[in-house]
Structure 1
Amino acid sequence: MNVKISKCLGMVAVLYFTANFNAQSQVKKDTVPKEKAIEEVVLVGYGSVKKQNLTSAATTVKADAFDNRPIYNVGQALQGQAAGVSVIQSSGKPGANIDIKIRGNNSISSAVSPLYVVDGIQTNDISGINTDDIVDMTILKDASSTAIYGINGSSGVVIITTKRGKAGKPQLNFNAYWGSSKTVKNIEVLSLDQYKSLLGDIKLNGGGDYLATANNSRYAGINTDWTKEVFQTGFDQNYNVNYSFGNENVKAYAALGYQDIDGIIKPAKFQRTSAKLNLDAVILPWLKLNSSVNYFLTNLTNTNDNLSTARGGVVLSAFNTPTFLPVYGNQVNMSPGDSEIYDQTTGAIKDGYKSGQFAPNPYQSSWENPVAYQSRKDKTLTQRFLSNLGLEVKIFKDLTWRPSISFDMTDSRNTKFTDGYQTSYGRSKFGIGSQELYQYQEYNFENTLNYTLKRSVHDLSILGGLQINEKNVQNTYYSGDNFPGDTFNFNYDLAKNQGNDFHKEILRQVSFFGRALYTLNGKYTVMGVFRENANSALAPGNKWGFFPGISASWLISKENFLANSKLISELKIRGGWGKTGNASAIPAYSHFNLYDPYWSNGIPTYTNTQSDSSDLTWETTTDTNAGLDIGLISNRIRLSVDVYQRKTDNLITSIPLGTNDFKIFRNIGSLENKGLELALNTVNIKNENFTWNTSFNISFAKNKVTHISDYLRTIQAANIDGMGNLVRIQEGQSLGMFYGYQVAGVNPNNGDQMYVNASGNTVAYADLKPEDRKYIGNPNPDFTFGFSNNFTFKNWYLDMLITGSVGNDIFNATRFDLEMMNDYKNQSTAVLNRWTTVGQITDVPRANSTSAQAISDRFIEDGSYVKLKAVTLGYNFNKPFRGVNKLNLYVTGQNIFTITNYSGMDPEVNAFSPNRGTSGAERSVFGIDYGTYPQVRTFIIGLKANF
C-alpha cells in the first residue's frame, strides 16, 4: 500500500473516531426510540421482511445517496454505497456499461452481473433505467435469499423500487441540472524535437530511417498538439418531471425524463428519453391491480477506445500520432514538384491531400490520425419497452394469490460507416460499413400464493410460486464495401460487395419455487427457500436442477437480559446456507452440432461452430454466510459484519477444437470466494439546527481456482495486439492473474532489458524460455471501501462520497504503445530516460531494442486509489414563490480528485469490460488499461422544485 493511500485511510479512521465520540456525547440531546428504528422493512425475493427479523446478507441504498449526482446508470448509483458490491466504471465514455459484481467473480466464462428486479420485473439489463424514478435499491448478497431465483440468482440480486402514486394532494416535481466535464489527467508525450531525437536513436540501433520523413519540407512548420485536437469540454444536461396523484382506490405516478451527455472525445454522445407510468387500483375490496409501464429511447454515438492505434483506437492515436502531421492533407506545404501530392502528368492533387481529406500517415497510411478515426460513424439507436401487470386477489383473510405477467422488448440498430473519401482506410475500401439489427423479447409469467398466520408469539408466512419464462433473440447483420463515391451513410443496397448473417434463438425456463418464514416471539426467525429450475438450453436428463437455501437469526437484544439496556439497542446474529445456479454461458442449443451460415454476394458459406455438448450442466454455487448486527445508543451507531464462503462447481468454458472457431462447451473446474464485509453507520450529531451522519463500508475478498480438469490444466486469456495472452487461469491461483516474465533491470553496457529466469538468475532476452514465465501481478484488490458524510445546517446541506480500492495491480498495456520505441509512433516522456550511453543506469531500455517487447512486470503497476467521488452543496427554500412548495438549488462535483501512484489516466479501468462483447474466459479478465477513454471530472448546477 503506498504512502498516499495510507495517509488517506488514516484520515478516514480519525474522522470515524470523531464520529463515534460525537455520537456518544450527543446522545442526551437527541434519542431515537429503539422500536421505531428497527421496524424498517427490507425487500427479499417475492416479498418483504422486517429488518429486525432479516436472516440473510442484504443492504438497502436510498435514493438520497445519489439523486444529486450526474449519473446515467444504476451502477453508478451503487458505487461506494454497499459493502461487497464492486462497481467499476471501466470507461468514462458517455453511456458506457458499468461492471457490477456482488462479492466478486464466481465464474470464469459466465456473466457475473446481478439479476435486477425492477418493480417485480426480472431483468439483467438496467442500462435505460432513469435513476430519478428510483426510491431505493436492496442488494441481496447471499444464496440463502437469492436461491429463490434459481439459475438467475447466482451473482446476487438487486431489487429496485420506483416511485408510485399516493393518496392525497397531487404532487408535481421538476428537476434539472447542467454541467461540464474535463479530463482529470493527461499523459505527456514527446515534443517535436524530442520525437526527432528518438527517431535518430531508432535508426542508430538498426531501425528504419523515419527521421528523413519527419524532416521532409512538406511538414516544415507544422507542430500539431493532438491532445488539444481530441480532448474537449463535455457538456451534461438532464431534465425530469413527474406527477403523482391518487385517492384510496386509484394511485398513479407518471414521469418523463431526458438526458444528454456530450463526451470529452468526439463523437461520443449519449441521449436518453424515458417515460414511466405506475398505476395501482383497488377494483374490488378483494381485488387489486398494479402495473408498471416503461419506455426508453437511447441514442449512443461511440468513440473507439480500448484499441491500439493500428485498430482505430482514438485515445492511443491521440498520443501516438507524430506531431509533424497536420489534421488535413491540404494543410501540408504543397509544392507542385512533390510527386506524392501532385500527379506529375495531369497536375491534379492526389487523394489524401484534397480538401476535406485527413492527412495520410507517410509511414503507414492505414494508421491514421485520431481526428480521422473520430470521423468514423458508429451509432446505436435503441428502443426498449419494459412493463408488467399484476393482480392481488384476496382469496381468504390470510391467503393471497398474485398472478402477473411482464414483458421486456428491445429493438436496437447499430450502424457503422467509413466513407470512401475522407480517410485512407475508407478510400482503400471505397467506403465500408455494417448494420446490425438486434431484437430481444422476454415474456415472464408468474403465479404466487402467499399464506400468512399471526397468532400470539407466532408469525408464519408461506409462499409458493410458478414461473414460466421465454426469451427470443434475433440478430441480423449486414455488411458491405465498394460504395458509390457520393455515399456518406451506410446503405446496404448500394454496396457492390455484400455480406449478411442471421441468427435467432429461443430460450425457455420453467420453475417452481417457495419460501417459508417463521418468527417466534419476535426474536427467533427461520427462513427456507427453494427453486426447482428447468432450462431448455440443456440436453434431456440435465435440464432440471434444485436450488435450496436456509437461514436463521436470533435477535438477542429482545432477550430479558438486554431488553432495558441503554447501550445496546439491537444485537442480532444470523447465518445462512444456499445453492444457486448460473446458465448464462450455456448456448441456447448447447446439445446440438451447429453450423453458422454467412452469405457473401448471395452465396452461403457454412461453418461448423459448435460440437454437441450433451453432458453439459449449469454452474452451481454453494454459499455460506454468517452475520452480526449491532445497534448502540438508540441505534445511532449501527454495525453489520458478514463473513462468507462461496464455492462454484462445474465451471463452464468453451474449448476450441483444432485451428478453426469450432468449439465445444465443458464443465471444467471449481472456484472459491471468501470474504469479510463491514458496514458502519453513525448519527454523529443531531439537533434542531445541525445534523451529521456518516456511513462507512469495507470489503475484504479473496478468490482461488480450486480445480481445473486434467485435459485443460490452464486457460489463456486477454490477447492484446502484439503482446500475446496477458492472463493465465490455473488451479491454485486467483482469477485474472497476470502471467509473464520478471525484469531484472537494464544492462548498463548495451541498454538491453534483462530478465530473471526460473532459477532466479539474471539472463538476456535471447536466453529466455517459456518456462521462465511466472505470475507477475494480481488485479484483485485486498479490499475496497466507501465513505460518505452528510451534513445539514438549517436549510443548507453538504454530502461527500469517497471510494477506494487497495492492493490491486493494473497491467498498463497503454505503455506498450507509448514506451516500446520500435517504430515511428510518438512516445510518452517516460522514454526520455532511455539508455543512450555505455554505463548509464536506468530502468528504460534503449530505443529499438527487441529485448523490451516481452510481457513482463515492467508494465505492472499498483492500481490502489482513493477518490473523492462526489461532493454536493445545496440549499432548500421553503415556499419561495406562490405555488412552489419547495425549491432546492445545488452544485455537485464528481471525480474531484484521485490519490494514486498509477501512471495512467485513471486507475478505474477494464479494457475487457463485458460491454466490448467479451465472452468465454475473457469475462474473468480485469485490471488492464489499453487506451481506455478516461474518467472525467464533472461540475454541475441543478435545481429541484415541488409544486
Structure 2
Amino acid sequence: MRFKLITVFVMLLSYIGMAQETKTISGTVSDSTDVPLPGAQLKVQGKEIFTVTDFDGNFTLEDVEEGDVFRITFLGFQPKEVTVGTENEYNVVLQEEAASLNEVVVIGYGEAESRDLAGTISNLKAEEINDSPTTSALQAAQGKLPGVQVINNGSPGSVGNVRIRGAISVLGGADPLYVVDGVITQDISGIANSDIESFDVLKDASSTAIYGARGANGVVLITTKSGKGKMKVSLSSTTGINTLVNGVDMANAQEYAQYTNEALTRTGNDPAFTVSEISGLQTTDWMDEITREGLFQNYNLSVSGSKEDIDYYVSANYMDEEGILQDNDYERLTVRLNNTYHLSENIRFGHNVSLVRQRGFNPSFSNFTNAYKQAPHIPVRGEDGNYRTTNLNNVGNPVANIDNNQNVNEQVRILGNAWGEVDIFDWLSFRSSIGVNVLREKSRNYGARYIVGNESGTQILNQNQVLNVRDYDEERFNWDNFLTFDKKFGKHDVNLTLGLTSERLASEAFEGSRRGVPPSDNLLYLGIGEQEGQTIDHVGDRSTRLAYFSRLLYNFDKRYVFNATIRREGSSKFAESERIRYYPSFGVAWNIDNEAFFANQNFLSNLKVRGSYGLVGNDRIDSGLFLQLIDFSAYPFPNGVAIGGSSIQQYDENLTWETTTELDLGIEFGMLDNRLTGEFTYYDKETEDILFPLSLPQTSGDDSFVTNAGSIENKGIEFALNWSDASESGDFSYNVGFNITKNENELTNINPVVENAIPFIDSGDLGNGQIVTRTVEGNELGTFWLYKADGVFTSQSEIDNSAQPGARVGDFRYVDTNGDGSITQTDRQYMGSYQPDFYYGINLGVTYKQVDFSTSLFGNVGNKVFNGLRAQRFSGENIDADLFGERYTGGDSGNGGPAAFNAVPLPSDYYLEDGDFLRVNNITVGYNFSDDILESIQLSRLRVYATAQNALTFTKYSGFNPELPRGILDSGLELDAYPTTAKFLLGLNIDF
C-alpha cells in the first residue's frame, strides 16, 4: 500500500513539473512600411485558438503556452509562423508576396495559397494595373499572362476580346466569366484600374468547375480595394494624346485618275480624265480629314483606412477620351464605396458598390473604310462650302457622314454586393452575399441630315432622316451562401467549402425608328416623326440558375495536394428533362521541394508538379430555343373566320448544355532563391454537344435550326519564365518576364441531325456579295475559305486554255482545284485562320534609386488576316499605293497584282496576308521623389511618369492594323476596323 502511495505521489510531482502555465500574448501585425494590417488572421496550430487583428493591426491570443506556434495570414502577403516564447508581446512584420509559387490567390468563393492548388491560375499584380493608362484591366493584361489572349480594337471605351485557351463554342460566346467582388457580370468596362486589388484568371477545369455552366471559357476574378490602417488619400492624374500610327500610303489623285482610266478602257469605256485634267488634280488625304489627335484624361481620387470598427475605401474616377476618329468620344465616371463593419471579432458585414455612368459618341467605323476608298481628287467641300462626292463610285463623303449622323450611347450601371460573414469557430465560417448588376442603357442613332451631291455641288436637306432609338434594361442578381471549414490536423490541412448559389437575369429592350424627324438636337424624338414606315420591336429575356457546390482543398505535410470540386447546376434555358447537369473535377499536386531529399541542394528553390481533370458547361444561348413557337392567324371560311396556328420555327426539345472536359498537366519551379521562376503547362480540352445553328434548305421555311451537333477541341502548351534580382544595397533592381502559348483549335465533328441540313457556317461578309470564312468540320473556327490566285493572265491564248474563258488579259488566274473546267465555289480552299500558332509576351522592369523604367511587348505568330479594304471593291474606289505600283500593265510576267479593274473581285488569297506582329504595348519612365523631399512637403508618395502605349508595331501586313477582333467566326477581317492608335501620356501619383 505504501509503495502505491509513493508511486502516485511521484507521478503527481512529475506531472506538475512538466505542466506549463497558459498566458495571454498580444502585439501588432504590419507590413514592411509599418502600415498596420487589419483583418489579418492568426491561428494557433493544433488548438482552437483564433483571432483577427483590429483596425490598428492589434491582436490578442489567450490561453497559449510557450512553444505554441501561431500562423499569420493576410491576402497579398507571405504567411508567417511565430513560436511563443517567454515574452508576451509580438510585433510581426509580413512581407508582400514576391514569388508566384507562394502567393495567396483568389479562387471561386474563397482564397488559397497557390502551393495548395492543383489547378492553373494566372494573376496580375495590382501595381501592374493601377497606373495603366487603359480603359480596362484587360488591356493592361495584354501579353502578360500565358494562355490569355487579349485582342483590342483600340476605340475609346472598348474592353477588347478575351480568349482563354482558344474558342470552344459557336453560339455560346468566347468571352470568359467575370466575377467582381463575387458579383457575376459580362462587362467590366466600368471598373477603374486604380480600384483593383487583385486580378486572377482561372484557366483549367479544376479551377473553373466550381462555376459550372459559367466557367467553360475561363473565369476572371477581380477583387477591388478595401481600407486598412491609417487614413490614406491617393490622387492620380494621367493626360496626353491619342494619335494614328501605322498609316497606309494611298494612291494620290494622279495615280487614282490613271488607274481609273485604265480600268474603264479595259472594258471598252471612255476614260474619265483627260491628260490635262490629270496633271492639275489636287490630292485629298481622306484619312487625314476624318482623324485627329484626341485628348486623353484620367483622374482618380481615393480615401481609405480603418476607423474604430469600420474599414473604408471610397474612390472617384473620371475618364475622358477622344478617339482618333472625329467626333468619337468616350466619357466615364465611376464612384466606388467599399466598407467592412466589424460587429465583433467574429461577425462582419459590408458592401462593395460602384456606380458607373458612361457616354459614348460613336461615328460608324465604316468611315475608315470610306476614307480608304474615296476618290482622292474630290475635295471635302467645294468653293460654295457644300460637301462633295463623285459619280465614279458610291462610297460617299466620310466627313459628311460624320457631320450629318449622330450615334450616342449612354449607360448607367450599378454593380456591387452586400455581404455578411461570421466565424462560427476559428475553423468554420459562414458567408452570405447578394450581388446586384443593374444596367440602364439608351442609344440614339440619327442620320443623315443632308443628301451630299456630286462634283456639281448639289446638296439638299434630307426629308427622310431616320431616327433609331433603343432603350435596354438589364438586371442580374446572384445570391451566394457557403460554409468554409479550414482546419489543420497535425500534418493534414483541410479546407472544405459547401455552398448554394442562385442567379436571375431579366432583360428588356425597346427599339423604334421613324423617318422625317427634324435635324435638331432638341427635336430628336420618335413622336415628332412620320408614323408611316415606322418600326417597333420589343424583346426580352428571363432566365434563372440554381446550383449546389462543394470543394475540397487538402494537403499532407505541405507536400501532397488533392483538390476536388463538384457542382450540381440547373438552368431554365433548357427543357425540364435536360435542365440538370453535374460538373465534377479533381486535381493532384506534389510540392517536391518540401521532401527531405530536396533539402541538400541549393539550385532549386521550389518545384511542384500538378495535374487536373474536370468538366465544365456552357448555357450562353437565348432562352426558349427548345420551345415550339406558333403563329396564330385568322383564316376566312364560307361560314365565318377561324383562328389557326402554324409553326414558325423548327426546334429541338432535347436541346442541352455544351460540356467541356479538360486535362491539365503542369510543372512550376523556382531557382536561385526564386530569382528565376517559371511554369510549363499542357492542356487538352474538348467541348461536346456544341450548340450549332445548322442551315436548312429553303424548302423548310426556316433559315437555321439550333441543336447540339458537334464537338470542338483546343489543345496546347503554355510556358512562362521570370527573372528578378536586386543589388544588396537595394538601389538597383530589375525583372524580365517571357511567356508563350501555343493553341491548336479544331471543329472535330459536325453531325447534321436534321435531314439535308448544311453542316457549316459561312461568315466574314465583305458587303459586296462575297464571304471569306467557312467553319466546317476538320478546320479551325473561322477558317478563311478562298480562291487560289495563281497570278494573272498575260495573253488571250492563256485565257482560251483556262477555266475562265470570259476573263481579260490582266485578270486574276484562279486555280481550278477540282479540274472540272470552270471556276466555282467548289474550287475554294481552306487557308488558315486568325487564330495564331503562337502568341507571346515580353516584360521588362528596371529600378535605380528613384528612377523606374518598364516596357511590355506582345505579338502573334502564324495567323492570317484578310485585307478587306482592298478586297471590297465595286467600281471606282481608290487603291493603296502598293496595289497601284504592282498592278499588271503588260508584258509576259503575271506574278504581280491584277490590272486595273472596276468589278467585284472573287475573295482570293491575293488579299490574304500573314498576320504576324510584334507590338511595343507600353514604355514607361517614372521618377519617385525621395523620402527627404516627401517629408518636407508632408507626402508619403510622389511619382511622375511618362508613358507611350502602342507606339511601335512591327508587321508586314499592308493594312492599318493586324490586331482585328470581330466575332468568333470572322476575326481577322479588316473592314470597318479601328486603325492602330498610340497614346503618349504624362502622369502623376500622389499619396497623402
Structure 1 and Structure 2 fold alike (TM over 0.5)? yes
Native 8 Å contact 1:317 1:370 kept in 2: no
Alpha carbons of structure 1 residues 840 and 539: separation in structure 2 relative to 1, 3 Å: same
Q: Distance in 2 between matches of 1:260 and 1:826?
A: 35
Which residue, 743, 753, 757 being the options, matches 1:701?
Answer: 743
Residue type of the alignment partner of 1:418: G
Alpha carbons of structure 1 residues 295 and 594: separation in structure 2 relative to 1, 3 Å: farther
Q: SS state of the match for residue 211, structure 1? A: coil
Residue type of the alignment partner of 1:560: A
Q: SS state of the match for residue 119, structure 2? A: coil
Q: SS state of the match for residue 487, structure 2? A: strand
Which residue, 419, 430, 444 being the options, matches 1:401?
Answer: 430
Native 8 Å contact 1:419 1:426 kept in 2: no
In the alignment, which residue of structure 2 is the partner of 1:462? 496
In the alignment, which residue of structure 1 is the partner of 2:135? 72
TM-score (norm 1): 0.86
Q: Does residue 1:680 correspond to 2:721, yes or no?
A: yes
Q: Does residue 1:492 correspond to 2:545, yes or no?
A: no
1:429: how far off?
5.1
In the alignment, which residue of structure 1 is the partner of 2:184? 122
Alpha carbons of structure 1 residues 853 and 141: separation in structure 2 relative to 1, 3 Å: same
Q: Distance in 2 between matches of 1:429 and 1:104?
A: 49
Q: Distance in 1 between matches of 2:569 and 2:139?
A: 32
Residue type of the alignment partner of 1:669: G
1:208: how far off?
5.2
Which residue, 712, 733, 739 being the options, matches 1:691?
Answer: 733
* CA deviation vs aligned residue, 1:693-730 (integer Å, no higher than 9, x gap): 11111101101111101444322222221252211122
Q: Does residue 1:639 correspond to 2:700, yes or no?
A: no
* CA deviation vs aligned residue, 1:173-194 (integer Å, no higher than 9, x gap): 0000111121111111221111
* CA deviation vs aligned residue, 1:718-769 (integer Å, no higher than 9, x gap): 222125221112222122211111111112222121122225x7x9xx8313
In the alignment, which residue of structure 2 is the partner of 1:740? 786
**Cα RMSD between the aligned structures?**
2.6
Alpha carbons of structure 1 residues 393 and 823: separation in structure 2 relative to 1, 3 Å: same
Native 8 Å contact 2:360 2:408 kept in 1: yes
Which residue, 236, 246, 268 being the options, matches 1:185?
Answer: 246
1:701-720 matched pairs, under 5 angstroms: 701-710=743-752, 711-720=757-766
In the alignment, which residue of structure 2 is the partner of 1:755? 814
Q: Does residue 1:291 correspond to 2:351, yes or no?
A: yes
Q: Does residue 1:612 correspond to 2:647, yes or no?
A: no
Which residue, 563, 566, 571 being the options, matches 1:535?
Answer: 571
Q: Distance in 1 between matches of 2:460 and 2:352?
A: 47
In the alignment, which residue of structure 2 is the partner of 1:827? 879
1:846: how far off?
1.4
* CA deviation vs aligned residue, 1:538-578 (integer Å, no higher than 9, x gap): 01100111101101111011100002421111111110001
Q: Does residue 1:837 correspond to 2:890, yes or no?
A: yes
Residue type of the alignment partner of 1:747: F
In the alignment, which residue of structure 2 is the partner of 1:909? 964
Q: Does residue 1:386 correspond to 2:411, yes or no?
A: no
Which residue, 763, 770, 789 being the options, matches 1:724?
Answer: 770
Which residue, 571, 576, 588 being the options, matches 2:623?
Answer: 588
Which residue, 352, 377, 389 being the options, matches 1:324?
Answer: 377
Alpha carbons of structure 1 residues 730 and 287: separation in structure 2 relative to 1, 3 Å: same
Q: Distance in 2 between matches of 1:657 and 1:841?
A: 42
Q: Does residue 1:782 correspond to 2:824, yes or no?
A: no
Alpha carbons of structure 1 residues 608 and 370: separation in structure 2 relative to 1, 3 Å: farther
In the alignment, which residue of structure 2 is the partner of 1:11? none
1:214: how far off?
12
Residue type of the alignment partner of 1:291: H
Residue type of the alignment partner of 2:350: N
Q: Distance in 2 between matches of 1:726 and 1:886?
A: 54
Q: Distance in 2 between matches of 1:201 and 1:35?
A: 66
1:48-447 matched pairs, under 5 angstroms: 48-89=111-152, 91-167=153-229, 169-206=230-267, 209=270, 211=272, 223-247=283-307, 249-305=309-365, 313-328=366-381, 330-331=382-383, 357-363=386-392, 367-421=396-450, 423=452, 427-428=461-462, 430-447=464-481
In the alignment, which residue of structure 2 is the partner of 1:477? 511
Identity %: 28
1:154: how far off?
0.5
* CA deviation vs aligned residue, 1:388-435 (integer Å, no higher than 9, x gap): 011112223322111110110000001000143365699555211201
TM-score (norm 2): 0.83
Q: SS state of the match for residue 436, structure 1? A: strand
Alpha carbons of structure 1 residues 534 and 207: separation in structure 2 relative to 1, 3 Å: farther
1:840-919 matched pairs, under 5 angstroms: 840-848=893-901, 853-877=905-929, 878=931, 879-880=933-934, 881-910=936-965, 912-913=966-967
1:488: how far off?
7.1
Q: Distance in 2 between matches of 1:875 and 1:535?
A: 53
* CA deviation vs aligned residue, 1:61-103 (integer Å, no higher than 9, x gap): 11222433320012102111100000001x2211124000110
Q: Does residue 1:928 correspond to 2:973, yes or no?
A: yes
Larger Rg: 2
Alpha carbons of structure 1 residues 800 and 189: separation in structure 2 relative to 1, 3 Å: same
Q: Distance in 1 between matches of 2:101 and 2:816?
A: 61
Q: SS state of the match for residue 227, structure 2? A: coil
Q: After the TM superposition, which of the residue ranges 556-565 and 840-849 deviates more from structure 2?
A: 840-849
Residue type of the alignment partner of 1:700: K
Native 8 Å contact 1:407 1:443 kept in 2: yes
Residue type of the alignment partner of 1:280: T
Q: Distance in 1 between matches of 2:176 and 2:674?
A: 30
Native 8 Å contact 2:428 2:483 kept in 1: yes
Q: SS state of the match for residue 666, structure 1? A: strand
Native 8 Å contact 1:426 1:432 kept in 2: no
Native 8 Å contact 1:419 1:487 kept in 2: no
Q: SS state of the match for residue 196, structure 1? A: helix
Alpha carbons of structure 1 residues 708 and 264: separation in structure 2 relative to 1, 3 Å: same
Native 8 Å contact 1:514 1:531 kept in 2: yes
Residue type of the alignment partner of 1:437: D
Q: SS state of the match for residue 892, structure 2? A: coil
Q: Distance in 2 between matches of 1:420 and 1:488?
A: 14
Moved over 6 A (4+): 32-37, 213-217, 606-609
Native 8 Å contact 2:262 2:271 kept in 1: no
Residues matched between the structures, number: 855
1:228: how far off?
2.0
Q: SS state of the match for residue 934, structure 1? A: coil
Q: 5+ residue gaps in structure 1?
A: 1-31, 306-312, 333-354, 598-605, 914-922
Q: Distance in 2 between matches of 1:607 and 1:654?
A: 22
Alpha carbons of structure 1 residues 662 and 741: separation in structure 2 relative to 1, 3 Å: closer
Q: Larger relative CO (CA 8 A, sep 6+): 1 or 2? A: 1
Q: SS state of the match for residue 429, structure 2? A: strand
Q: After the TM superposition, which of the residue ranges 183-192 and 889-898 deviates more from structure 2?
A: 183-192
Q: SS state of the match for residue 178, structure 2? A: strand
1:136: how far off?
1.9
Alpha carbons of structure 1 residues 36 and 180: separation in structure 2 relative to 1, 3 Å: closer
1:42: how far off?
1.6
1:895: how far off?
1.0
